[in-house]
């Protein structure tokens, strides 16, 4: 568990499955910049029973508020094989919790945690839709720097219209240490 001033990051527990399945399958929470397909609870349960959402090439932490309510998630997944460090993803679940500084703190803590726990990581990578202003702002507030644009990176599921992503990275020596972050609170 990683406890900040506004949020806590913690591992997923079996007892989270019901609430999590409800959140991710409530398409009223869908936003333009996050895949919004339905995920059967049975599939989530099966995957959780296999790896607890914590394996070499995929790690998920829940973000909770001070009352312990699940408000978002951060994750990592493998990027291109030669890149020394994973790609990072993040999202808040509900609009009512956005814009309150939660994800800026969560991403800063998560990034520091990742560097602290794997000495092979040279960098963390984010791919963010070029028009996702809030997400770009969160990344920049956490020290990530823009490297370029992945043009026509993916296509909209329903229309096929291509979208571009900005590539951002945080290098090991650009991240505060987790201990420093936790002590400064
Ligand atoms: C992007 C997202 C993770 C941001 O989380 P959050 O907890 O709301 O972010 P924070 O409150 O920590 O910070 C948001 C910053 O962006 C700013 N912001 C928010 N919306 C903005 C907009 N439309 N234009 C410009 N800035 C914006 C906020 O003012 C804030 O900056 P500030 O602290 O300097 O005032 C959240 O909105 C989200 O989950 N969106 C949907 C899914 C998504 O896009 N995930 C990311 C995919 S890469």
| CATH number, position 65 | 3.40.630.30
Is there a contact between 29 and 95 (Cβ–Cβ < 8 Å)?
yes
Domain housing 121: 2-183
Spatial CA neighbour of 34 closest among 75, 78, 81, 66: 75
pTM of the full predicted structure? Answer: 0.95
What separation in Å is there between the alpha carbon of 50 and the centre of ligand 1? Answer: 33
pLDDT digits (tens, 9 = 90+) for 109-138: 999 999 999 999 999 999 999 999 999 999
pLDDT of residue 31: 83
Residue among 75, 99, 129 to mutate when testing ligand 1 (max atoms within 8 A of CB)? 99
**Minimal-distance CA residue to ligand 1 atom 5:** 103
Spatial CA neighbour of 63 closest among 38, 21, 94: 94
pLDDT of residue 32: 80
Residues of the chain under the 50 pLDDT cut? none
Total structural domains within the chain: 1
């Amino acid at each position: 568990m990683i406890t900040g001033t506004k949020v806590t990051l913690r591992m997923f527990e079996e007892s989270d499955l019901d609430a999590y399945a409800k959140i991710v399958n409530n398409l009223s929470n869908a936003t333009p910049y996050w895949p919004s397909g339905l995920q059967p609870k049975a599939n989530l349960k099966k995957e959780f029973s296999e790896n607890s959402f914590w394996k070499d090439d995929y790690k998920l932490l829940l973000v909770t508020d001070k009352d312990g309510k699940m408000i978002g998630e951060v994750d990592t997944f493998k990027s291109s094989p030669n890149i020394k460090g994973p790609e990072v993803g993040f999202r808040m679940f509900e609009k009512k919790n956005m814009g309150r500084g939660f994800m800026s703190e969560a991403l800063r803590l998560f990034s520091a945690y990742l560097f602290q726990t794997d000495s092979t990581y040279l960098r963390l990578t984010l791919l963010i839709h070029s028009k996702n202003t809030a997400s770009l702002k969160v990344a920049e507030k956490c020290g990530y720097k823009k490297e370029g644009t992945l043009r026509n990176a993916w296509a909209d599921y329903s229309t096929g219209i291509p979208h571009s992503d900005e590539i951002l990275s945080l290098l090991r020596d650009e991240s505060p240490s987790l201990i420093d972050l936790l002590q400064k609170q």
